[in-house]
Structure 1
């Protein structure tokens, strides 16, 4: 049973899952809208919203925290200087998931995840 289990494993090892979420979040920050599968989008939503909340302070410690998670200078700088200040007065809900289509190859439901 998986009652009250905290996250989706996405059929990956923990290091693979961490790398996947890091790369998806970098793509989302740089492009502000990406298409992925629904389970990945739902897991990414939690990951990115925590980063945006941490970046909202805008100080050097926020830079360090976000860079430790992303390992990308460009994405970190864009998140802390451009994206997070837009959400300073918001308590959460920085992303939107919109289901789009069923992928032809494996019939997986796809979705757009975008910054609101």
Structure 2
């Protein structure tokens, strides 16, 4: 029944790559454009905020382009994203450590961050192997 899908199996990783990379690159650019506000929201210095933004953008680009370059680039990109996610999860979501919507996070809470974290770990472990 699903044999027809086997033809597209080698391209399935692109769905995760594009989703993960687009989230981080778009958020990273937005955070870079308002670096002071991003630093204040996380209660960190401007330097730490800049490092997080560079990890977001660089990690996203490496995850996306790593398939065309080298397995190590893919894994390095995912490795850059994981600490960013952990920091954001524990610095901004600790009051809402549940997986339900709240007054503070009406669109999404911890669940979207956990999904991004797990996809990043998957990409780190899998690399370019399809």
Higher helix share: 2
The structure that has the greater radius of gyration is 2
Structure with the bigger RCO (C-alpha within 8 Å, sep 6+) is 1
TM-score normalised according to structure 1 size: 0.30
Higher strand share: 1
TM-score normalised according to structure 2 size: 0.27
